[in-house]
Structure 1
Amino acid sequence: MPRSFPVTLNGKTLHVIMRFSLRMLVLCLFSAFGKLGFARSLAALLLLSVVVCIVTAIMRRERPFAGTLTNWDEAAVYGLLCALTVTVSQVAPS
């Protein structure tokens, strides 16, 4: 008997994964040319992405713990990546 994933892999989930991948590529490219440095620019853009995803999820009336990936899940990942970026940039020597 195969295991079931907590998230159903359907068209909407794959759309969210592709959107996340493309947005991360764009954020990394913009951060590479930022005047504040890569880490600070990336952290700021990730925080902005969190806000955009939350507003989008509220406007679309998406449920936070649905069976598929939603903007809420995307916002959570961006928030975690933002926290990780800030933590690593503070620990790493300049």
Structure 2
Amino acid sequence: MSPTRVLSRFAVRIALLSAFAAFGCIGFGRSLAALLWMSVILCALVGLLKREPLLGPALNHWDEAVAFGALFALVHIANAVA
């Protein structure tokens, strides 16, 4: 899969997660954190099921899981500070 396609898929997922989090009744930050955590799990499961290499030369679902995990950490820290 091309890196452009993976990055565009990631951007679309972030936009959708943000839109769904905006309508969450527990607040945007907590909703976004929960959705990001679910995305980490989903990407890791898809990477596992497709048997993608963990540290492969091309972007894959494992890299998306790491990116979602980093965003989850940022949102979680921001929620704890606020």
Output the TM-score relative to the length of structure 1. Answer: 0.84
Name the structure where helix makes up a greater proportion of residues: 2
1:29 is the counterpart of 2:19: yes
Deviation per residue, 1:24-78 (Å, 9 max, x gap): 0000000001001000000000000001000000111000111111100000010
Structure 2 counterpart of 1:79: 69
Give runs of aligned pairs for residues 48-87 of structure 1, distance below 5 A: 48-87=38-77
Separation of aligned partners in 1, 2:35 and 2:45: 15
Letter in 2 for 1:39: G
Q: Over aligned residue pairs, what C-alpha RMSD do you find?
A: 0.8
Give unpaired runs (5+ residues) of structure 1. Answer: 1-10
Identity of aligned residues (%): 41
Normalised to the residue count of structure 2, the TM-score between the two structures is: 0.96
Work out which of the two has the higher radius of gyration on C-alpha atoms and give 1 or 2: 1
Deviation at 1:90, TM superposition (A): 1.1
Task: Tell me how far apart the structure 2 counterparts of residues 77 and 50 of structure 1 sit (CA, whole Å).
Answer: 8
Structure 1 residues 4-19: aligned runs within 5 Å: 12-19=2-9
> Once superposed, which parts of structure 1, at least 4 consecutive aligned residues long, lie more than 4 Å away?
none
